[in-house]
Amino acid sequence: MTLTAPPVDPRVIGLAHYAGRAVLEHVLARHGATFQQQITLRRAVTADGPLDLGTLVEQVTGDLKVEAAEVRATVDTLLAKGLLSADGPLVTPTDAGRELFAAIGAETGGASARIYAGISPEDLATAGRVLAGITERANAELAALTS
């Protein structure tokens, strides 16, 4: 682990994001899934019940900052793979979708535990607060740019 902490800036945040994402992408590839499929499936699996397709698309679009058409195509792929099912406008995960989500979580959970091992709860809480604030500000900047 780095002994001298660099100041947090977009590069440091980006490097951390891409390092963690590379671990996730490696696991996803073994399961024949993409990052966007996993994020979409997560929204469906963790929902309290069936999700309206429009709501699901809106949530994932907001999460990933991608076009709605791209998310709709991802939902169509998950439907075709049998990982989601649709009943009219309502979308729910199938048993296969839940199993895939659980398998990916189990594999990445071990890696995450190793990645975060030895970092104090206080440091993790501070990092969480700082990153949440940066995310909020970046979303506000994006909203201003696109309005």
Closest CA to 53 of 28, 78, 32: 78
Topology at the third CATH level for domain 20-116: Arc Repressor Mutant, subunit A (1.10.10)
Q: Write out pLDDT tens, residues 18-58.
A: 999 999 999 999 999 999 999 999 999 999 999 999 999 99
Ramachandran quadrant class, 131 (left: phi over 0; alpha: psi -120 to 50; beta: rest): alpha
Q: Write out pLDDT tens, residues 110-130.
A: 999 999 999 999 999 999 999
Least confident of 43-47, 78-82, 99-103, 135-139: 135-139
Distance CA 41, CA 64 (A): 13
Q: Is the pTM of this model over 0.85?
A: yes
